[in-house]
Structure 1
Amino acid sequence: MIELKVPTAPFQFPGSKNYFGLKEMMNSELDFLKATVLSKSQEDVIMYSDMPIEEMAKDSDFPKKWMFGMACMLKKGLHLHQIHQIDRPFAEMMLGLESWIPMYMTGQISPYYLKESTGQTFMHLLKVSGAAALQGEAIYGHHTQGRYYLTKHKTEISYYKEMAELLLEKASPLMEIFRGNAAIPYHAFLQADTKTNGKRYHILSALPLHTLNSSLLEDILNQNQINKEDAQKIKAYIDKKSAQIQQILSHDMITEEFPILSKEEFSRFPIALPLSDIFYEKNIYYTWEMYKQHLESTLNYEKIHQNYCIKQNQQSAFRNIQIRIHEKKWVLVSKNRTPAIHFLIRHPKMRNAFENIIIPIVEF
């Protein structure tokens, strides 16, 4: 990973600065992140942009530096209110998903979008933290002729913050977010969906639980020294999950894609039971032999269930994220390990992006 150059002396830029041209615009984004990360402020950050991102993404260094800056901001503990512009070309949608989904898994980002069209005349960017504000403007189709303006003057930050908050009031949540305190409505959603028609496609980072037989499950729980109460909770959940899958298979197709690990890969990246649906707070790991047994039972499950299909990957694009797609209905993006979090996406354009391409998500 290319490191964001952090000054040894306290970071300073002029009280305000204009940026012109694509290269300077990219620098302005990094300067905003630097100012935000290195300040003492813990205020929430609000960000919006309908500027094109494809040209910036072609730069060999900028995407990595931007991701590193965002990671530093989140590691600092700041909460980000991100207003997405989803009325973008398909290629830009994919670039956006690839960047944002791993960051969503931190639970520190609240995603929004604007229902009303912002038009195709002017383009805007507005990013505000407790330490700086970045404002951008351009004519549609002429991004490189635009201007970005960065300020750390308190009066200007206050002005742009008010503008950002007013914009946030106009925005709608892009996703439903389920954490442990929303387990009841989350489980109700999963149960109700079993009766709904439509093909399912699951992109998994671990083997599916519904193919795990009871004796092997018992061995895994004993191996991990799981107490009796937790063991009963896990068994009850897997029984319920298996019944839900059976109900879906009775009327529709389920395709599940997951990696097949070599012994070397398994030793480097041990696999845990994917228990995020019950927000379980411990990681329960397989041994290599247990993993092979579960894989075998999964392959056998496919043979005896006509509507069940496996797509094997030799390499996993991610290790802690699973994506479940109900065709033309919704997409559910989940973090497997503690603390579990689930993002339910119903917006047609976002859903369509997931349905039509498998993105190479990189672990954040």
Structure 2
Amino acid sequence: MSEALKKGNTITIIHDIDRRYGDMQASLNVWMQLYMSGRIEAWYCPGIRDGIINTTRFIAPGLAAVISNNIHNSVEENLNIYLENKKAIAAIEAEYKSFLSLCEPLMKHYDIKKVHEFWDMHLNQLTSDSDIYFISDSLSLISFPIKILKEENSTIFEFAYNTVKELKLGLMDNLKNREFIEIIPYDLLDPESKKLPKFYKGSFLHLDNIEYTKKIFIKQLENQLMLLNEVENYKLYITKHMDKRMHLQFAINHSAIFTTPNIEAKAISFTEKTMISSLDEFVQRFITSYCITDREKVKELIKHKIESLI
């Protein structure tokens, strides 16, 4: 599929959204990278399905098709049929289009032309009646001290300042009733590490060429300490198992926003309830298995990191 996309093809896919935990891991590790190309149009069928007979129709219109069926995901001995007959392919295409007419879009794509839509989606999520999970090797904008942008006194930061301010206000007004959980990699707090974070989706903030400095990093770490001391529903977890391909902001019962590494202005979001439920299971297992969640331990890690930077 990667090769097909590299050659300029587009793919329209109707997804099975009944995802198990292992399927969700595979989706995060592989599928999300394909979606970010912007050349995959993903749909799902919201109607009731019995889940007994599964079918695959892989069609290159007018050229060839592969079709197969299986019962309860038993695929070892099922028949795969390869077709080049034009009439047969036309019939399979018609069948596919008929099914597609019953479907709805699974996700939205964002690029540099949809900057305002991208941040509107974040604001809609942050003001929802839901706990929020932020998982990335960037630091969240919610814990970012925006005053430091104002101190720079430069118009280059105007859009970033206004955007981050609106997001922070949208969330902070509701933190009494729900949680914001920020999950970052351990190496950002490792006293021996020289690594500095990146601006979360800097390309969408018009900060493509602006880098974190030690000063900005220290200010954000101090701000995280303040939040941990004063805001009960702000939580910071640390993990040594961060997948560098995982940049996720997720609201239980609401929506998920996936982004590429920060050098690209590409992202996707989805709100389909079954996918959200599966993602919630994935996130909870990830936290239980791989995260340091003890508040005092996290605060000590932050303090040691600040000392190493001064």
**TMscore range, shorter length:** 0.7 to 0.9
Equivalent position amino acid for 2:33 in 1? P
| Change in CA separation of 1:283 and 1:161 when aligned onto 2, cut-off 3 Å | farther
Following superposition, the deviation at residue 279 of structure 1 comes to 5.6
* Equivalent position to 2:157, from 196, 217, 231: 231
**Residue 98 of structure 2 corresponds to residue 173 of structure 1:** no
1:196 aligns to 2:125 (yes or no)? no
Which deviations, in whole Å up to 9, do the C-alpha atoms of 1:201-240 show, x marking residues without a partner? 2212201223333564468x79xxxxx4432112222222
Does the CA-based 8 Å contact 1:332-1:345 persist in structure 2? yes
Give the structure 1 partner of residue 82 of structure 2: 150
> Could you say which residue in structure 1 is the equivalent of 2:303?
none
**Per-residue deviation at 1:329?**
2.2
Q: Give the match for residue 206 of structure 1.
A: 138
Return the alpha-carbon distance in structure 1 between the equivalents of residues 198 and 20 of structure 2: 37
Deviation at 1:147, TM superposition (A): 0.4
User: Over residues 312-339 of structure 1, what are the superposed CA-to-partner deviations in whole Å (9 max), with x where a residue is unaligned?
Assistant: 12342125x4212222222222335354
Gaps of 5+ in 2: 287-310
Q: Number of residue pairs matched?
A: 282
Q: Could you tell me how far apart the structure 1 residues matched to 2:125 and 2:71 are? A: 44
CA distance in 1, matches of 2:179, 2:219: 25
Distance (Å, rounded) in 2 between the aligned partners of 1:280 and 1:72: 31
Do residues 259 (structure 1) and 185 (structure 2) align?
yes
* TM-score, L = length of structure 2: 0.75
Inter-partner Cα distance in structure 2 for 1:161 and 1:281: 45
Q: 1:1-364 residue pairs with structure 2 within 5 A?
A: 70-130=1-61, 131-140=63-72, 142-214=74-146, 216-217=148-149, 228-261=154-187, 262=190, 271-275=197-201, 278=204, 280=206, 282-287=208-213, 290-319=216-245, 321-335=246-260, 337=262, 339-358=264-283
Change in CA separation of 1:345 and 1:184 when aligned onto 2, cut-off 3 Å: same
Name the CA distance, whole Å, in 2 between partners of 1:198 and 1:118.
Answer: 29
d(CA) in 2 for partners of 1:264, 1:103: 35
TM-score by length of 1: 0.66
**Higher relative contact order, chain-length normalized (CA < 8 Å, sep 6+):** 2
Runs of 5+ in structure 1 lacking a partner? 1-69, 223-227
How far the C-alpha of 1:75 sits from its partner, in A, is 2.0
Structure 1, 183-192 or 173-182: larger mean CA deviation: 183-192
Q: Following TM superposition, by how much is the alpha carbon of 1:127 offset from its aligned partner in structure 2, in angstroms? A: 0.7
Separation (CA, whole Å) in 1 of partners of 2:193 and 2:59: 42
Amino acid at match of 1:105: M
Structure 1 residues 175 and 216: alpha-carbon distance in aligned structure 2, compared to 1, 3 A threshold: same
SS of 1:205's equivalent in the other structure is coil
1:68-102 CA-partner distances (Å, limit 9, x unpaired): xx222222222211211123544434434443122
Give the whole-Å Cα distance in 2 for the aligned partners of 1:215 and 1:121.
57
Pairwise CA distance, 1:257:
0.5
Is this contact kept in 2: 1:263–1:288, CA < 8 A?
no
- Cα distance in 2, alignment partners of residues 341 and 204 from structure 1: 15
The one-letter code matched in structure 1 to 2:30 is: S
SS state at 1:212 partner: coil
Instruction: State the percentage of identical aligned residues.
Output: 17
Checking the alignment, whether the CA contact within 8 Å between 1:94 and 1:353 is kept in structure 2 is no
Root-mean-square deviation over aligned CA pairs:
3.3
Pick closer, same or farther for the CA change 1:190–1:132 going to 2, 3 Å: same
Give the 3 Å change call, closer, same or farther, for CA 89–279 of structure 1 in structure 2: same
Hey, what's the Cα distance between the residues in 2 that align with 1:240 and 1:284? 21
Question: How far apart are the structure 1 equivalents of 2:12 and 2:5?
Answer: 12
